[in-house]
A and B are shown apart, each in its own frame.
Chain A
């Protein structure tokens, strides 16, 4: 069965800290994604990666960076955490398809609070 694992369910950090959110998938998927979810705004794409060491900015990349050194692992980095980055973060993965019809598979999310 498909499995996307996020390293932490809940995380509390302080303003200015460097924060790492980790995501691992066991399905050999090429694509991986990081979203943040806020009430009333749905899911907004932060970054995505379609191959090892490849990344593309999503809709809201400011204040974030990513790392994909291995196919199965995609890390989201908050360089200097701020209170407006308090949110639910969701990782997802999918197969590459020329017809773009492959669904994304999601982890259970990390609820991050920045104090």
Chain B
């Protein structure tokens, strides 16, 4: 069975600092991986997706993620945090029936 683990339910950074949100997955087949962002009182918005074309994936709002098969990781990064990045972030992996398996989420706090 596939699963996703997000380390840290809350991450706090200063504005302008590096953002690193961790995601590890388990999968018996080559995975498709996604990062979603949820702003307060909204649904989930796709940030980026890994579909095996390239290990470094660039997404919206300056975010990127690197797929590392040897580490079974797909960590999300952004070089410089902005106040508007404060939100909850979800990592997800697909299984073979089009369903998404979500991690429990990481809430990003950005300090001025």
Residues of A within 8 A of B (CB): 4, 9, 31, 33, 40-43, 45, 48, 50, 56, 58, 90, 92, 94, 96-97, 99-109
User: If A50-B98, A96-B98 touch, does A42 touch B42 (CB 8 Å cutoff)?
Assistant: no
Contact between chains at A42 and B32 (CB < 8 Å): no
List of B residues within 8 angstroms of A56 by Cβ: 97
Q: Cβ of B41: which chain A residues have Cβ within 8 Å of it?
A: 9, 108-109
Given contacts A40-B104, A109-B42, A109-B43, contact A94 B98 (CB under 8 A): yes
Contacts of B94 in A (CB 8 A): 100-101
Tally of B interface residues using CB under 8 Å = 24
Q: How far is the CA of A90 from the CA of B88 in the complex (A)?
A: 15
Of A40, A97, A103, the most chain B CB neighbours within 10 A belong to A103
B74 at the interface (CB under 8 A from A): no
Are A100 and B103 within 8 A (Cβ)?
no
Q: What residues of chain B have their CB less than 8 Å away from a CB belonging to chain A? A: 9, 32, 34, 36, 41-46, 49, 51, 90, 94-100, 102-105
Residues of B within 8 A of A105 (CB): 46
* A41 CA / B100 CA spacing, docked (Å): 14
Asked whether, in the complex, the Cβ of A100 is within 8 Å of the Cβ of B43, the reply is no
Point out which of B36, B99, B102 has the most chain A C-beta atoms below 10 A from its C-beta. B99
How far is it, in angstroms, between the C-alpha of A78 and the C-alpha of B35 when the chains are bound? 30
Q: How far is the CA of A42 from the CA of B88 in the complex (A)?
A: 10
**Are the C-beta atoms of B98 and A31 separated by less than 8 Å?**
yes
For B49, give its contact among A92, A101, A108 (CB under 8 Å): A101
Known: A4-B43, A103-B46, A107-B43. A45 touches B99 (CB 8 A): yes
